[in-house]
Structure 1
């Protein structure tokens, strides 16, 4: 059945174009944020080592906390994407599939 799907019709559907644009814009914004946040660690450690050496609790310093925060940011980005995809993108895709003539 998968070979009978009219992909050209789906690709030409303006709703699909809108879905693709919204999803691409959203993904690029998440990626730009994550890359900037990721590179703040080496840049901060290189240019502001005294800030990263500040002790917070015992041997734990700002640099270690910032490095660990990268995991939290990655999980948050995954959560944000999943939530948005389930709420908006999947609904838009289901509507396109439901309303389109998918069989050639």
Structure 2
């Protein structure tokens, strides 16, 4: 790919929107994930008695929270994939089509 094609793609409003939205959404999900994980670790460190509370048999609040944390991470990944498959793929397709048309002059 030559430099003029790269500059044309970088100037494409769809490309700029794609980069901006992916970056913003990616950071939002990353921050949510970090808050959840570090929050769990903070509870383990500062309130171990709460996390050790038995709910049923040998199952504690800590185990339930740990499983919930894993499930929430999977959910957040699913949310990103859904958004990528709908909005980001459409934008990418538009960028590729514009690059193809621009390159055939």
Bin of the TM-score, shorter chain as denominator length: 0.7 to 0.9
Query: Where do 5+ consecutive residues of structure 2 fail to align?
Result: none
The corresponding residue for 2:80 is 81
Q: In structure 2, how many angstroms separate the alpha carbons of the residues matched to 1:23 and 1:63? A: 33
The corresponding residue for 1:91 is 90
Count how many residue pairs are aligned between Structure 1 and Structure 2.
Answer: 102
Using the TM superposition, name which of 8-17 and 20-29 deviates more.
8-17
Contact 1:4/1:103, CA 8 A, preserved across alignment? no
Task: Normalising by structure 1, report the TM-score.
Answer: 0.87
Matched residue of 1:66: which SS?
Answer: helix
Distance 1:52 1:96, change over 3 A: same
Task: Normalising by structure 2, report the TM-score.
Answer: 0.86
Matched residue of 1:56: which SS?
Answer: strand
**Deviation (angstroms), 1:76:** 0.7
